[in-house]
Structure 1
Amino acid sequence: MNDRTLDRPALLIAEREITTKLRDKTFLGSTAFMLVLVLAAVIIPALLAGRGGPDKIAVIDDGGAKVVQQASATNGDDGFEVTRAADRPAAEKLVTDGEAEAALLPGTDGFVVLGKDRVDSGLERALREATVSVGMEQNAARAGLTPEQLRAGTNIQLELLKPAPLPDIVADFVNIGLALVFYMTALGFGMMIAQSVVQEKESRVVEILAAAVPIRSLLWGKVLGNTVLALSQIVVIAGASVIGLVATDQLAILQVVAPVAGWFVVFFVLGFVALAGLWAVAGSLATRQEDLGSTTLPGQMILMIPFFFAVFAGASAKTVASFVPIASSMAMPGRMLTEKVPLWQPLLAIAILLVATVLIVRLGARLYERTLLQTGRRLGYREALALESS
């Protein structure tokens, strides 16, 4: 039997997997839920930020109002809004009632920033800098100097040796998002692959399929079909993210993430294919649904440990993880968002992952062939390996 005759059964099995999932209400519902979740994560924070408006600062004199206006002019974003109060008790009431974020009141040597239970550090810093600026202008006028003469030689310019393409908070958020997408997709589809295999074993359908189709073709069909479904789901989710970013005018994020997304797809496909073979083996080792808890545990750990490394590990650990197969699918795209990674590093990581994927799939295929028709009892991985060598 030549390779061409083996390709057609695998494609038929892949088509069967795809059409079955597209008719599955649970699969369609989970995809719709993920779409809603992604759109909400992109749109809601932007809407809330847009509705926040400037912080109101209570003042009781023109001096305080001038400082608040100076802070608003230099702070950017929403700035600050001056709220007039008749006296200190009235300003305190505005702060206590929540009608003002803070109050700027005259002090013995400048001003006092008055808050209810706490004062935001950014607000305090902005008012402090504005107070210094306004005070310097007033002192310069008394000394017969212009503000420019007083500030001569005091400018500071910021230069970064390794500038990040995105702000730290945004980069961390996207980094976690990419790792979470891979983790959730690989875990969700992996469990579906394992459940599909054990359902076919329980119903004896696998014996009919194995009589008509080579067992390896069954495996390739399941891997191919679920890879197509998983990648399609990723594309749909990415499309929803783009719509959300465009709708909320966050194109700057999109411009940085888009090039990394291409690398993510490559890492995703290779990592998913390797894991799909292992999930199929997890299903072939089981004889009933209850067995999947133990047979799928290794696959869950292979996913969980790299996920935590990609999200929570330090820079050095992430660098190492970005070259480890499976872990690289989550760690390398995240690194490319938060730092400048030389081109040879993702290329090397892909080469290592490709070799590992080939080896894992070949091992999975051998285990799958020797365990799929074992329906008497649940097999362990050691026993499956012994069957392979016998």
Structure 2
Amino acid sequence: MSTAPAPSFLQSVWLVSEREIGSKLRSKAFIISFAILFLAALALVVWGGLQARDTSGTPVAVTADAEQYVAGVQGLEVTEVGSRADAEALVLAGDVDAAVVADSASPLGFAVLAEDSAPTSLLMSLAELPPVEMLDPSSTDAMLRYFVALGFGIVFLMSAQLFGSTIAQSIVEEKQTRVVELLLSAIPVRALLAGKVIGNTILAMGQILILAAIAVVGLTVTGQTALLGGLGAPLAWFAVFFLLGFVLLAAMFAAAAAMVSRQEDIGSTTTPLIFLIMAPYFLVIFFNDNPLVMTIMSYVPFSAPVGMPMRLFLGEAQWWEPLLSLLILAATCVAAIVVGAKIYENSLLRMGARVKLREALAG
């Protein structure tokens, strides 16, 4: 009576990956969490489209000696002021988006005052483009910068934490129920680790690509082609950086989970990794307007998937910087896989008390 041949290493990896993907897609918790993220992304895109289609007039302050330059111009809510100083005060206070004032130095006879960006609708509605004087220069609209930072940060945080925690819980569950002993009798330990990492990476990347598709389709349908043009390359780089960044984190989550044997002990080894995931989110939210912090983030492996795409969107990164950052991330990823595989292999069959890191590395 012949027995079936043992699966090869690649077949074993695929069997584990398929098992991870299938179990996740059947999980109600996963479906609900993804639905929430999907609806949040859709709501953000729709809100942006409604804002872009807002047809209300542009609030503009106009001095008495510049009224003739805006006479008959449609789409403006004009507030008359007595002097240039009054116009500047309204602009800086945020009461109006811009001000039109007489300017003898301008060949057109007038100029537009704006705080950090001049309203495009105002400039396009004038017969000739006037010189624009920025009272508080800024390279990108502050609100747009914040929402893009929020988008990159929250997608990275939720995806990495969700699938990283999934890997950890799966490993500990298999140890606690002794299923891992049956699995290792049929497949190599490294194939088990590779299958778990690859399966969850496929799920995580699928989620990222679906969210990116929502953003692209939503921005196209709502007519935000200018914003889409600026986000296209950063979104592509985000996907590439996230792929390597997640593999790095997945290997570390697997190693951390293999060191314990009970679900209630998972937090003792994975909490530092949760902090590593949360740090880029809070940094990009609070320091997205700080070039130094963003530059440092774009080269640190754990925050590069958020920091570098954000800098690319802002136009603050040179063409070679994402390549260098990606090289650093790839090297760190390889090192994490090697170390994580050693910890995983040395700890997986050890039951009972938590395995110390020194013991896991020494075997």
> Normalising to structure 2: TM-score of the pair?
0.79
Tell me by how many angstroms 1:182 deviates. 1.4
Distance 1:285 1:148, change over 3 A: closer
1:121 equivalent to 2:93? Answer: yes
In the TM superposition, what is the alpha-carbon distance from 1:186 to its structure 2 partner?
A: 0.5
Give yes or no for contact 1:163–1:339 (8 Å, CA) kept in 2. Answer: no
CA contact (8 A) 1:175 1:337 kept: no
Whether 1:337 aligns to 2:326 is: no
Give secondary structure in 2 for the equivalent of 1:299: helix
- AA of the residue aligned to 1:211: S
Give how far 1:310 is off: 3.4
Q: Percent identity?
A: 35
Q: Is 1:305 aligned to residue 296 of structure 2? A: no
Answer yes or no: is 1:326 the counterpart of 2:302: yes
Contact 1:179 1:310 in 2 (8 A): yes
Structure 2, unpaired ranges of 5+: 1-6, 112-129
Q: How many Å separate the matches in 1 of 2:56 and 2:240?
A: 42
Residue correspondence of structure 1 range 285-300 to structure 2 within 5 A: 285-300=259-274
**CA offsets, 1:45-74, max 9 Å, x none?**
4325645733899xxxxx99x96994893x
State the partner residue of 2:131.
156
Q: Could you report, residue by residue, the CA deviation over 1:127-180 in whole angstroms, capped at 9, with x for unpaired residues? A: xx45x55xx9xxx9xxxxxx988669xx63569xx995x644323421331132
State yes or no: 1:369 paired with 2:345. yes
**Amino acid aligned to 1:354:** A
How far, CA to CA, are the matches of 1:23 and 1:386 in structure 2? Answer: 37
Q: Which residue of 2 aligns with 1:79?
A: 76
Q: Are 1:69 and 1:80, in contact at CA under 8 Å, matched by a contact in 2?
A: no
Equivalent pair of 2:260/2:352 in contact (CA under 8 Å): no
Which amino acid in 2 is paired with 1:156?
A: P
* Contact 2:164-2:253 within 8 A present in 1 as well: yes
Q: Would the aligned equivalents of 1:280 and 1:368 in 2 still touch at CA under 8 Å?
A: yes
Matched letter for residue 202 of structure 1: Q
With over 3 angstroms needed to count, the CA separation of the structure-2 counterparts of 1:50 and 1:205, relative to structure 1, is: same
Deviation per CA, 1:87-119, whole angstroms, max 9, x where unpaired? xxxxxxxxxxxxxxxx869x9x99x99xxxx99
Which residue of 26, 38, 44 maps to 1:35? 38
Partners of 1:179 and 1:334 within 8 A in 2? no
List aligned pairs for 1:346-385, cutoff 5 A. 346-379=322-355, 383-385=356-358
Letter in 2 for 1:387: A
Whether the aligned pair in 2 keeps the contact of 1:371 and 1:384 (CA below 8 Å) is no
Q: CA deviation at 1:278?
A: 0.9
Of 234, 239, 255, which residue of structure 1 is paired with 2:213? 239
Task: Answer whether contact 1:68 1:80 (CA < 8 A) is retained.
Answer: no
2: distance between equivalents of 1:256 and 1:350? Answer: 21
Change in CA separation of 1:385 and 1:149 when aligned onto 2, cut-off 3 Å: closer
Deviation at 1:389, TM superposition (A): 1.4
Normalised TM-score (structure 1): 0.74
Flag the structure with larger Rg.
1
Kindly tell me the number of residue pairs found equivalent between the two proteins. Answer: 329
Displacement of 1:288 after TM fit? Answer: 1.8
Instruction: Determine if contact 1:168/1:338 at 8 Å carries over to the other structure.
Output: no
Q: Is the 8 A contact 2:52 2:224 kept in 1?
A: no
Q: Take 2:269 and 2:94, find their aligned partners in 1: how far apart are those partners?
A: 52
Match of 2:9 among 6, 9, 26: 6
Check if 1:264 corresponds to 2:238: yes
- The residue number in structure 2 matching 1:280 is 254
Distance (whole Å) between structure 2 residues aligned to residue 273 and residue 261 of structure 1: 18
The equivalent residue for 2:359 is 386
Q: Which residue number corresponds to residue 211 of structure 1?
A: 185
The C-alpha deviation readout for 1:319-368, integer Å capped at 9, x for no partner, is: 12211112212111111111242222111111111111000011000101
Distance 1:281 1:389 in 2: 14
Is contact 1:323–1:349 with CA below 8 Å preserved after alignment? yes
1:367–1:385 CA contact under 8 A, matched in 2 = no
- 1:183 is aligned with what amino acid? L
The 2-side partners of 1:345 and 1:149 are apart by 42
**Counterpart position of 1:54:** 57
CA–CA separation in structure 1 for the residues paired with 2:345 and 2:146: 42
Measured in 2, the distance between the counterparts of 1:30 and 1:45 equals 23
Q: 1:192 Cα deviation (Å)? A: 1.0
For 2:131, give the aligned amino acid.
I
Q: Secondary structure at the match of 1:212?
A: coil
Listed as ranges, the gaps of 5+ residues in structure 1 are: 58-62, 82-102, 141-146
1:195 paired residue among 169, 177, 184: 169
Normalized per residue, which structure has more helix?
1
- Does the 8 A contact of 2:209 with 2:239 survive in 1? no
Q: Give deviations 1:242-293, integer Å, cap 9, x for gaps.
A: 2221221111111111122221111111110010011112221222221122
Amino acid at match of 2:39: V
Cα separation, 1, equivalents of 2:285 and 2:144:
14
CA 1:44/1:310 → structure 2, altered by over 3 Å: closer, same or farther?
A: closer
Secondary structure at the aligned position of 1:378 is classed as coil
Q: CA RMSD in A?
A: 3.6
Counterpart residue identity of residue 193, structure 1: I
- Distance (whole Å) between structure 1 residues aligned to residue 171 and residue 298 of structure 2: 32
The answer (yes or no) to whether the contact 2:59–2:96 under 8 Å persists in 1 is: no
Structure 2 Cα separation of the partners of residues 245 and 267 of structure 1: 23
